[in-house]
Amino acid sequence: MTSLNLEALFQSKIDEETKIEPKDWMPDAYRKTLIRQISQHAHSEIVGMLPEGNWITRAPSLRRKLILLAKVQDEAGHGLYLYSAAETLGANRDDLVQQLLTGKAKYSSIFNYPTLNWADIGAIGWLVDGAAIMNQVMLTRTSYGPYARAMVRICKEESFHQRQGYEIMIAMAKGSPEQKAMAQDALNRWWWPSLMMFGPKDAESSHSDQALKWKIKRKTNDELRQQFVDVTIPQAEYLGLTVPDPDLRWNEEKGSYDFGEIDWEEFWSVVKGNGPCNKQRLQARNKAYDDGAWVREAASAHAAKKEQRKLEPQLETKAA
Amino acid sequence: MMNDSLIKYLLQLADNALILGHRLGEWCGHAPEMELDIALTNIALDLTGQARSLYQRVAELEGIGPNGARKTEDDYAYLRDAWEFRNTLLVEQPNGDFAHTIVRQFIFDSYNYYMCRALTQSRDEWLAGFAVKSLKEITYQLRFSSEWMQRLGDGTEVSHTKMQAAIEELWTYSGELTTPNEVEKEMASKGIGVDLTKIKPEVEAKMAEVLTASNLTAPAGIWMQTGGKDGKHSEHIGFILAEMQFLQRAYPGQEW
C-alpha cells in the first residue's frame, strides 16, 4: 500500500471511532504528538508529587496525612503507567526522563507554583485535579487505545482526589477565621494558574487543529476552560469564597459564565522557565536522580551477579 | 494500674510506627527510583495506619478524661511533647542517604516482625487481633528491607561502603528494640506484651542471616543507646514534632 493509502485508512479508522493500537500503522507525526503529550503528562504527575509532598510531614491530622500520602503515591503510579503507555509507541522511559531532567521536555506549569499553606493541598485537589479531570475525561475517548485505557483508570483516582481536595476546602472555609483566610489565600493564588492549565487560547494554540482531526483531543482549550469555570464557580460559592476575578459574571444569554482575561504574559513566562518554582522543581528531580544513581547501579550490579551465580552454582553459595 | 501500663505499652508500639512512617514520608517524591517512591510510601501508609489503630485503642481505654472529653487519635500524635513520646531512638534517626534509610528499616523490621508474630498470642484480645492484622504488612516490610540490604550490600563497591557506614552509625540503636523496659517486663509477665528476651535470639539470628547474605558485618561489642521508650530521646525528636505538630499547635482545637 502507498503511504497515501495508509494515511487514508488510518484517518478512516479514526473517523469511525476505531481505536489505534500499538502495532497499527500510524503517521509519524501522530506518533510523535502522542509521545510528546503522554510523556508530558507523565512528567507532570512526577513533578506534581513535589508541591503536595511538601506538606506530607505537616498534614494536620493522621487521616489527612494518610490521604495525602496515598494521593502522592497515586501520582507516582500514574507517572509509571503513562511512561509505559509512551513506551508502547516506541519511546524509552529513560530517554523521556532525561528530557525532563535536562529541561528539554515540558510538564504542566501549574506545578511551578509553591504550596504555602495547608489549604493549598485542598485547592490543588479541588482546582488543579478538577481542571485535569476536564481534560482527562475527554482523553478517555482519545483515539490511541493504550492512552485512552490509561486515562479511564487515572480518571477514577483523580476524581477521588478532587473530592478529597474539595473536602479539605469545605473544612477550611467553614472553619475558624484563620482557616477561612487560608482557604481564600489558596484560592487567590491557584485560580488563575488553574485556568492556564487548559493552555493557550484556541486562536493561538499550535497543536490544536491536527490533534482534533486525529481525535487525540476532542474539545478545544477554550471549550474545556469554559466548562471548568462553569462547574467550579458554584462550588466556590458554596464555600463562601471569592473568586479573584472582577469580570466574572453569569451570562444568561449563553447560559454560562463570562470571565476575565488570563494574564498571558505570566502564562508564557512560566512556560519559559520563569515561574516561582521552575528551578526548584527541576533541581529536586535532578537531585533525586543523581543521589539515587548509586542505588540503581547497585541494584543492577546485584541482579547481574545473581544471574551469574545461578549459572555457576558450584562456585558461589547462593544468597538467601 | 493495669491500664496505665497497657496504655504506655500501646503508645510505645504506636509511636514507633508513627515516627518511622513520618520519616519515610519525607522521601515521597525524592526516592532513587519511582518504584521506590511507591514502595516507601506504601510502608509509610501501613505504619501510619497501624499508629492510628493503636492511638484509637488508647483513647478507648483512657475513656472520658478529667475535662469531661474523650481524646482522639490526633491528640496523641499532635499534642504530646518529646518526653511523652515512647518510640525507640532508632526510628527518629534522620533518613540520611538511602543506605541509612534501608539499614534503619531493616533493623526495625527484624525486631518488629518477631515482636508482632509473638504478639498474635497476646492474652489481650484486641492486641492479638491488631497483631494478626499487622503481621501481613510487617512481613512485606521485612522482605522489602532484607532484599535491599542484599542488593546494596552486594551490589557495587560504592553501595557496599555506604551500607557498611550506615550500619556502623545506626547499630548503636539496635539494642534498645530487644531490651525490655519496666513497662514491657510487666506486660510480658501478664501475657499481654511480648517477652523481648524470648524473641531476641530470633531477631539476632535473622539479622545475622541477612547481613551475611549481604556481605555486611555488624560492629561487635559496641555500646547500645537506650532511653526512647521511656521518653529520653535524641535531639531529632524535637524537630520532627515541630514540623509534624505545627498546624495543631498554631491553630488549636480546629477541624481539618
Inter-chain residue contact A57 with B51, CB threshold 8 Å: no
Q: Which residue of B has its CA nearest to A300?
A: B155
pLDDT at position A209: 82
pLDDT at position B66: 85
Residue A185 and residue A117 in contact, taking contact as beta carbons nearer than 8 Å: yes
Inter-chain residue contact B32 with A171, CB threshold 8 Å: no
Q: Best residue in A39, A100, A280, A302 to probe B by mutation, most B CBs within 10 Å?
A: A302
In 3D space, the residue among A65, A172, A121 whose CA is nearest the CA of residue B255 turns out to be A172
Rounded distance between C-alpha atoms, residue A25 and residue A13, angstroms:
11
Q: Which residue of A has its CA nearest to B30?
A: A288
By Cβ distance, the residue of B30, B150, B158 closest to A302 is B150
Cell digits of residue B191:
501475657
Could you report the per-residue pLDDT of A258-279, keeping only the tens digit for each?
999 999 999 999 999 999 999 9
pLDDT at position A314: 61
In 3D space, the residue among A155, A153, A158, A139 whose CA is nearest the CA of residue A19 turns out to be A139
**pLDDT category of residue B1 using cuts at 50, 70 and 90:** low
Q: Which residue has the higher pLDDT, A116 or B66?
A: A116
Residue B201 sits at the chain A interface (C-beta within 8 Å): no
Interface of B with A in 116-145 (CB under 8 A): none
Q: What are phi and psi of B140, to 5 degrees?
A: -60, -40
* Average pLDDT over every residue of B234-255: 98
Q: Which residue of B has its CA nearest to A60?
A: B247
Distance from B231 to chain A by nearest Cα, in Å?
21
Q: Best residue in A47, A50, A61, A121 to probe B by mutation, most B CBs within 10 Å?
A: A61
Flag the least confident range among A200-209, A223-232, B49-58, B73-82: A200-209
Task: State chain A's mean pLDDT as an integer.
Answer: 95
**Chain A neighbors of B137, CB-CB under 8 A:** none
- Residue B87: HSE in the Cβ half-sphere, 13 Å Cα cutoff: 30
Q: Over pLDDT 90: what percentage of chain B?
A: 96
DSSP assignment letter at B195 = -
**How would you class B137 by CB atoms within 10 Å of its CB: exposed for 0-12, middle for 13-18, buried for 19 or more?**
middle
Inter-chain residue contact B35 with A80, CB threshold 8 Å: yes
Inter-chain residue contact A295 with B49, CB threshold 8 Å: no
Inter-chain residue contact B151 with A49, CB threshold 8 Å: no
Residue B256 sits at the chain A interface (C-beta within 8 Å): yes
* Average pLDDT over every residue of B23-44: 97
**Chain A neighbors of B156, CB-CB under 8 A:** 294, 297-298, 301
Residue B235, pLDDT above cutoff 70: yes
Q: What is the largest CA-CA distance in chain B?
A: 61
Q: Which residue of B has its CA nearest to A57?
A: B244
How many CB pairs (< 8 A) connect A and B? 148
Residue B28, pLDDT above cutoff 70: yes
Inter-chain residue contact B29 with A64, CB threshold 8 Å: no
By Cβ distance, the residue of A118, A288, A303 closest to B31 is A288
Q: Which residue of A has its CA nearest to B20?
A: A57
Could you report the per-residue pLDDT of A180-225, keeping only the tens digit for each?
999 999 999 999 999 999 999 998 877 778 888 999 998 999 999 9
pLDDT at position B2: 60
**Chain B neighbors of A50, CB-CB under 8 A:** 29
**Chain B neighbors of A320, CB-CB under 8 A:** 150, 209-210, 213
pLDDT at position A210: 87
pLDDT at position B89: 98
Rounded distance between C-alpha atoms, residue B103 and residue B153, angstroms:
10
* Average pLDDT over every residue of A117-122: 98
Residue B150 sits at the chain A interface (C-beta within 8 Å): yes
**pLDDT category of residue A3 using cuts at 50, 70 and 90:** confident
Q: DSSP secondary structure string, B45-109?
A: HHHHHHHHHHHHHHHHHH-B-TTS-B--HHHHHHS--GGG----HHHHS---SHHHHHHHHHHHH
pLDDT at position A79: 97
User: Which contacts of B37-40 are long-range, i.e. CB under 8 A and separated by 24 or more positions?
Assistant: B37/A49, B37/A73, B37/A76, B38/A73, B38/A76, B38/A77, B38/A80, B39/B144, B40/B101
**Helices first, then strands: H and E counts in chain B:** 11, 0
* Average pLDDT over every residue of B77-81: 98
**pLDDT category of residue B67 using cuts at 50, 70 and 90:** confident
Residue B96 sits at the chain A interface (C-beta within 8 Å): no
Residue A315, pLDDT above cutoff 60: no
pLDDT at position B29: 95
Inter-chain residue contact B255 with A171, CB threshold 8 Å: yes
Could you report the per-residue pLDDT of B124-158, keeping only the tens digit for each?
999 999 999 999 999 999 999 999 999 999 999 99
Residue A2, pLDDT above cutoff 90: no
Rounded distance between C-alpha atoms, residue B163 and residue B152, angstroms:
7
pTM of the model: 0.95
**Chain B neighbors of A70, CB-CB under 8 A:** 41, 45
Residue A310, pLDDT above cutoff 90: no
**pLDDT category of residue B65 using cuts at 50, 70 and 90:** confident
Q: Over pLDDT 70: what percentage of chain A?
A: 97
Inter-chain residue contact A298 with B210, CB threshold 8 Å: no
Residue A317, pLDDT above cutoff 70: no
Cell digits of residue A139:
482523553
Inter-chain residue contact A297 with B158, CB threshold 8 Å: yes
Inter-chain residue contact B28 with A53, CB threshold 8 Å: yes
- Secondary structure (3-state) at A249: strand
Residue A319, pLDDT above cutoff 80: no
Q: Which residue of B has its CA nearest to A118?
A: B247
The position carrying cell 496505665 is B4
